[in-house]
Amino acid sequence: MLQALRITEVAEITAGVLSGKPHEVLLSQIAIDSRQIINPAHTLFVALKGAKADGKTFIPSLIELGVRNFIVHSDFEIADFSTSDSCFIIVSDTREALQKLAAFQRSLFKNPVVSITGSNGKTIVKEWLGQVLSQKYHVAKSPKSYNSQVGVPLSIFGIQEEHQVAILEAGISKSGEMAALQRMIQPNLGIFTNIGSAHQEGFPDQESKILEKLALFQNANFVIYSKNQAELAEIIEREIDAEKLIAWSDQVGVDFTRSVKILEKGAKILLLKSDLSTFTFQVPFTDPASLENITHVIVASMTLGQSSDSIQQGLDHLKSVDMRLTLKPGVNDSLLIDDTYNNDLAGLKVALDFMQQQRPKRRKILILSDLLQQGSPAKLYAEVADLIKNHQLDLIFGVGEDIFKLEQLFQGKFKGFESSEALLDNLDPDQFSNDLILITGARPFGFERIVNKLQQRIHGTTLEINLNALTHNYNFYKRLIRPEIKVMVMVKAFAYGGGSVEIANHLQTMGADYLAVAFTDEGVTLRKHGITLPIMVLNPVEESIDLCHAFQLEPVVFSPEFFKMVSSYCKTHACKLSIHLDLDTGMHRLGFEHHQLDELIALIQQEKRMRIASVYTHLVGADEEIHKDFSLQQLESFNEMRKSLIPHVSKETLFHALNSAGIVAFPDYQFDMVRLGIGLYGVEVTGRFGSSLKSISTLKTTISQIKELQPGETVGYSRKGMLPNGGKIATLSLGYADGYDRRFSNGNGFVLIQGKKAPIIGNVCMDMCMVDVSGFSDIKAGEEAIIYGEGIPLQELADRIGTIPYELLTNISTRVKRVYYLD
Ligand SMILES: *Cc1c(COP(=O)(O)O)cnc(C)c1O
């Protein structure tokens, strides 16, 4: 942070009311997450209300930790803490207060602030520009994609006095959000990357989306954009004074005319300025998107006065940005967090926080290289030490020179190595077991070798799950419901194939209210892995009530007989159980029917021990317009039964009816909670908001062998596959036992290799299948094939074999390794 503040100053900046006895402590840290407290006495905690849990619930434990300064919302009961000698600043909106503090800190920074907006490429442009500028300058930049209403303030608090330029990303998803980002960021130089169709739902049309984003640059001195995008350019030129504009294009008549020559490896970019001076740069890639991104970076670097030589030096070291923070299965049941791209303090913070959110393991271990960051090493490593202390690591492996500064601070816990090679030589995978290991290092240290050594051999097929996409989809549905409505997330069937434990853990950190599983043992697995959210069991059996009791799982009760059975269980065991009532309004699967209502009420009236946590019904055709009348009839019938039940149940009993499709189609029937399923996993079954969701998973496998086929030879069982003129096939290590449906046989399915379609040839075998790669000139065993994910939508695959995405997702065998990442 640029300037530490007294609590009285904070009150002034946020226009809040101070309660408690003010003191002179200088607050140098601002936290919004109770897990991120490094220096409690000097921390200001801002209790945000959001999709996540309400921040104020953490205040008692924070006081215990030693935090004394808080910004709270006006509904906070300060009286309860009057003896804690804490200071509270009361504001009407804590998020706004956080933003005001950010705007204040920003106003103290006198060096250039670059800000980036647009639909795609923001994070990449930010990272690359950071890499190129740091050839010459000391650069502050937003960590990962911290570009939101809360991410931007956190990025701003990361700016320090010694920084010479700050690069901040700005992302919005609905109209009205940019004004707040603009007030905080106040960019001097703006980059508008491009415009696409993402997040269209929050905006009436394309033009209003562009205008909203453009609001970020209203006070900027310069705005960089590409005239290759005609609609975007037209609006920018209309809205912003000509002397502020810096345009580049592949056509002449702009500030920088670009021509690109594709080389064997990479490309050459030639820029012709309007004063006829020319500059050439060599870049390591050839795809249009990367070339667009890098052109923005070059033009911005030139605008900031960097010489073309120094830009080229930066480009020479450019690495394609893989910023994914990946969770991988490690040796001996350990869990690895792979962050081998990271190279600065802000990134280390993010990675440590991610580590904190994981399920508890035996030990927390950090493998860390020198941070290649300009500035004073003493100060930098003091901060690293604070972070490590705060995260209570059990063991630290340090690689490099400067990192040895940590040695005296962590005696007995620190092992230092001069090089990655030295560490690799001494790293015995069997020293780890059931540990959580964060591996984070700057690029030159090549830490991917360490990950390789410590990860469980993953061969063949993997399902990669993007946790950020999951968050995105969750928030998409959150926006469709009223703020007070609770969310139950369906993690039945191994979380629709995604892997229930990690997904449940992620949902828990996101603040979901409830989970639901199909069977009791699925719930037991979650409990055994540290999931503490309430869990509803859809399909319990009599024998499993014991387990429900032992693991605090909440069974669904769907008939008078089952009600009586669970009730008598509670009596004989003198225990209390929470249960849920399923009302059948038309599914005809399980549940109480309308004519059983009086019987149900009589049962409830006699019941003392069971707590009725919720009452629900399930829609049979919410995704299909033709069933709309039937759905409404179901919802009305449920509402009627609900009214009859209300006098007999507690005020806390939740009523709920809507599944993913229902949330979209019937907003008037949210009752107290909704049940989110397939939508979270990236499939919008009503088809109305298809493009608003992100695909969360990618199923990948590898090529085991390439074979040449002569005319007339056949492929696979029953000789079904034939290439009449001969050709080339690739054998993939994926079969129906992995969940790759046999109906994809004989050209019904295809995979993507090198971005191109390769159709299935012959019958899918149990553990393998073959694809036709006759048109591929350069293809080798070991290469990757994508079965579905970005580029192969699940809906399309499902349609090809006459099924639904649900079936494809849940069929993926548990033998397929799941890998989780944040991008
Ligand atoms: C599976 C399930 C859901 C979720 O349905 P989606 O269509 O996946 O959103 C909701 N409620 C019940 C009772 C379910 O069984």
Instruction: Report the CATH number that the domain containing residue 18 is assigned in CATH.
Output: 3.40.1390.10
Domain assignment of residue 100, yes or no? no
For residue 766, say whether it is annotated as part of any ligand binding site: yes
Q: Strand, coil or helix: what is 445?
A: helix
Bridge partners (DSSP) of residue 750 are: 759
Residues 420 and 538 in one domain: no
Looking at the structure, do residues 287 and 435 belong to the same domain, yes or no?
Answer: no
> In 330-441, which ranges are E strands?
335-339, 364-369, 395-399, 414-417, 436-440
Residue 748 CA to ligand 1 centre (angstroms): 29
Classify the C-alpha dihedral 523-525-526-530 as positive or negative: positive
- Crossing angle for the helix pair 7-14 and 94-107, to the nearest 10 degrees: 110
Q: What is the mean pLDDT of residues 422-444?
A: 90
Q: What's the CA gap between 140 and 344, in Å, rounded? A: 10
pLDDT at 198: 57
Q: How far is the CA of 535 from the centre of ligand 1 (A)?
A: 14
Closest CA to 554 of 483, 478, 613: 613
Residue 258 marked as a ligand binder:
no
Confidence band (pLDDT; 50, 70, 90) for 375? low
Give me the mean pLDDT over the 394-417 stretch: 91
Band of residue 182 on the pLDDT scale cut at 50, 70, 90: very high
Spatial distance between the Cα atoms of 387 and 540, rounded to a whole number of angstroms: 45
From ligand 1's centre to the CA of 726, what distance in Å? 48
* pLDDT confidence tier of residue 504, bands split at 50, 70 and 90: very high
Question: What pLDDT score was predicted for residue 522?
Answer: 95
pLDDT, position 134: 85
Q: Which residue among 659, 673, 683, 810 has the greatest number of ligand 1 atoms within 8 angstroms of its CB, and so is best to mutate?
A: 659
The helix (run of H) or strand (run of E) holding residue 508 is: helix 500-510
Distance from C-alpha of 385 to C-alpha of 414, rounded to nearest angstrom: 11
* Sign of the torsion angle spanned by Cα atoms 694, 695, 697, 698: negative
> Do 362 and 264 share a domain, yes or no?
no
327 versus 105: the higher-pLDDT residue is: 105
Question: Domain for residue 484, yes or no?
Answer: yes
How many helices (H) and strands (E) the chain has is answered by 25, 38
pLDDT band at 319 (very low <50, low <70, confident <90, very high): low
Can you read off the two tokens belonging to residue 558?
Answer: 């769907």
Kindly report which listed range (92-106, 435-449, 606-620, 669-683) carries the lowest average pLDDT score.
Answer: 435-449
Name which of 219-228, 348-357, 558-567, 665-674 the model is least confident about: 348-357
Average pLDDT, the chain: 91
Active-site residue, from 174, 717, 756, 780? 717
Q: Cα-flanking dihedrals φ and ψ of residue 376, to 5°?
A: -75, 120
Q: What is the mean pLDDT of residues 368-374?
A: 80
Of the candidates 423, 457, 491, which is a domain's last residue? 457
- Whether residue 344 is predicted with pLDDT greater than 60 in this model: the reply is yes
Closest CA to 333 of 456, 211, 212: 456
Residue 81 has a CB neighbour count (10 Å cut-off) of 18
Higher per-residue confidence, 94 vs 195: 94
Are 727 and 684 part of one and the same domain? no
Q: Whose Cα sits closest to atom 10 in ligand 1?
A: 659
Residue 270 above 80 pLDDT?
yes
* Residues 165 and 61 grouped into a single domain: no
Domain finish residue from 35, 69, 94: 94
Owning domain of residue 388: 325-457
The encoded tokens of residue 685 equal: 């079954």
Helix, strand or coil, per DSSP, at residue 420? helix
Q: Which two tokens stand for residue 72?
A: 């709270």
At residue 664 the predicted structure's pLDDT band, cuts being 50, 70 and 90, is very high
Claim to verify: residue 684 and residue 703 sit in the same structural domain: no
Residue ranges lining ligand 1, Cβ < 6 Å? 490, 538, 618, 659-661, 675, 677-679
* Ligand 1 center from residue 489 Cα (angstroms): 9
Same domain, 568 and 679: yes
Q: Hey, which of 618, 658, 685 would you mutate to test ligand 1's pocket, going by the most ligand atoms within 8 Å of its Cβ?
A: 618
Instruction: Tell me what the mean pLDDT of segment 327-334 comes to.
Output: 87
Instruction: Indicate which CATH number applies to the domain containing 481.
Output: 3.20.20.10
CA 793 to centroid of ligand 1, rounded, Å: 21
759/723 Cα distance (integer angstroms): 12
Q: Which 3 state secondary structure label does DSSP give 716?
A: coil
Q: If pLDDT is split at 50, 70 and 90, which confidence band does 171 have? A: confident
The stretch 369-380 carries a mean pLDDT of 78
Handedness of CA 390, 394, 398, 403 (dihedral sign): positive
Mutational pocket test of ligand 1: of 477, 480, 490, the residue with most ligand atoms within 8 Å of the beta carbon: 490
Position with higher pLDDT, 297 vs 685: 297
Between the CA of 557 and the centroid of ligand 1 the distance, in Å, is: 17
pLDDT recorded at residue 52 = 56
**Domains in the chain: how many in total?**
5
| Mean pLDDT, residues 705-723 | 91
- Based on the residue annotation, tell me whether 486 is a catalytic residue of this protein: no
Tokens of 629: 């009348």
For residue 324, pLDDT beyond 90: no
pTM (predicted TM-score) = 0.66
pLDDT value at residue 251:
93
* Alpha-carbon distances of 505 from 294, 508, 525, rounded to whole Å: 37, 5, 12
How far is the centre of ligand 1, averaged over its atoms, from the C-alpha of 618 (Å)?
7
> Is 381 one of the catalytic residues?
no
* Average pLDDT over every residue of 213-232: 95
Helices (H), 74-190: 94-107, 122-133, 151-157, 178-185
Of 409, 439, 457, the residue at which a domain comes to its end is 457
**Considering the domain boundaries, does residue 104 fall inside one?**
no
pLDDT band at 320 (very low <50, low <70, confident <90, very high): low
592: which 2 tokens?
A: 């109480």
Catalytic residue among 213, 405, 492, 700: 492
What pLDDT shows up at residue 70? 95
The number of residues in the chain equals 823
Q: What is the mean pLDDT of residues 733-755?
A: 94
Q: What local confidence, expressed as pLDDT, does residue 51 receive?
A: 58
What CA–CA distance (Å, rounded) separates 751 from 772?
Answer: 10
How far is 150 from 84, CA to CA, in rounded Å? 28
Structural domain contains residue 575:
yes
Whole-angstrom distance, CA of residue 462 vs CA of residue 742: 19
